[in-house]
Structure 1
Amino acid sequence: MAERPTTNWRSGIAQEAAELAAGTLDPDCACMVELFPRELLLETDAVLDVFEAELLTLTEEDDARIFAAVERVVLALNAVNEAHDDCAFETDEREQLCAYIDRTLTERGVDVASLTVRHGLGRHELTDRWRDW
């Protein structure tokens, strides 16, 4: 399965903690725990769990159900972002989440480029209709 953005964020937290412990990072420069609090990571993972489970029931040819799954994951991520004062997902996180959705669909056999073209969208517009973050 595609690597979740939360895995990357947790790695950044661990790396920063190691640098702090080693004394190679000024504590005033540490920001990962603040950017990615435990609650945000857990809430985001819960949303991605549901998305991954739903994809197991989809077939490549079922555009309506695929778009419905994308809509649900994006709306759920909107709610997570809103719960964190609309600043949980900044530019880099947005890009990671969108790439994760695309890669996860691709791994399930969905040709995302063809799917989006069939619906008059560019490949990177898959989430735009519902995305607030």
Structure 2
Amino acid sequence: MASKPPENWRAYMAEAAREVAAGALPPECASVADLYPESLLRATDAALEAFEDEVRALREPSDGAVFGTVEQVVLALNAINRDKQHGGPHFCTEEREQLCEYIHLTLSEHDVDIDALAARRGIDPAAITDRWRNW
């Protein structure tokens, strides 16, 4: 299964903390933990887990059903990104790319042919989240 982006973000923060502790990074880089508050990580994990559950439940899904699951996770991530509780917005280029890749990989791991799905809608496979995404 694809690793969730918050796992990558936690690993990045841990690595930065180790490098600061070892003197390889200046102490001002210790604030990297502020990039990903725990509340953001937990909320993102929960949204992605709900997406995984929905994708797992799909059996010979229609294009509409697949896009429905994509829409739900994207709207959930939109809400997380703009939630002031997390000090947002947080999903910048790197995070966007990881989230989109995760959505693609999760669908592919459950036998959704992204290329065919996108072709039937007349869109680029990389654009399956674009209709709803504001991060």
Report the secondary structure of 1:87's partner residue: coil
The whole-number CA distance in structure 2 between the counterparts of 1:60 and 1:132 is: 29
Counterpart of 2:102 (choices 88, 100, 103) is: 100
Once the two structures are superposed, residues 47-76 of structure 1 have per-residue CA deviations (whole angstroms, 9 ceiling, x without a partner) of 001000111111354211110000000000
The code of the aligned residue for 2:95 comes to E
**What 5-or-longer segments of structure 2 have no aligned partner?**
none
The code of the aligned residue for 1:5 comes to P
Q: CA deviation at 1:29?
A: 2.4
**1:124 correspondence with 2:126:** yes
Aligned residue in 2 for 1:87: 89
The whole-number CA distance in structure 2 between the counterparts of 1:49 and 1:56 is: 10
Q: CA deviation at 1:30?
A: 3.1
The whole-number CA distance in structure 1 between the counterparts of 2:59 and 2:117 is: 12
Greater Cα offset, 73-82 or 52-61 = 52-61
The alignment of Structure 1 onto Structure 2 pairs a total of residues equal to 133
The code of the aligned residue for 1:125 comes to A
Aligned residue in 2 for 1:68: 68
Q: CA deviation at 1:96?
A: 0.6
Aligned residue in 2 for 1:15: 15
The whole-number CA distance in structure 1 between the counterparts of 2:98 and 2:59 is: 24
Report the secondary structure of 2:54's partner residue: helix
Shift of the 14–86 alpha-carbon distance from structure 1 to 2, 3 Å rule, reads: closer
Report the secondary structure of 1:110's partner residue: coil
Q: CA deviation at 1:86?
A: 4.7
Q: What is the CA RMSD across the aligned residues, in angstroms?
A: 1.3
Greater Cα offset, 40-49 or 84-93 = 84-93
The whole-number CA distance in structure 2 between the counterparts of 1:86 and 1:67 is: 26
Q: Given the two structures, how large is their TM-score scaled by the length of structure 1?
A: 0.94
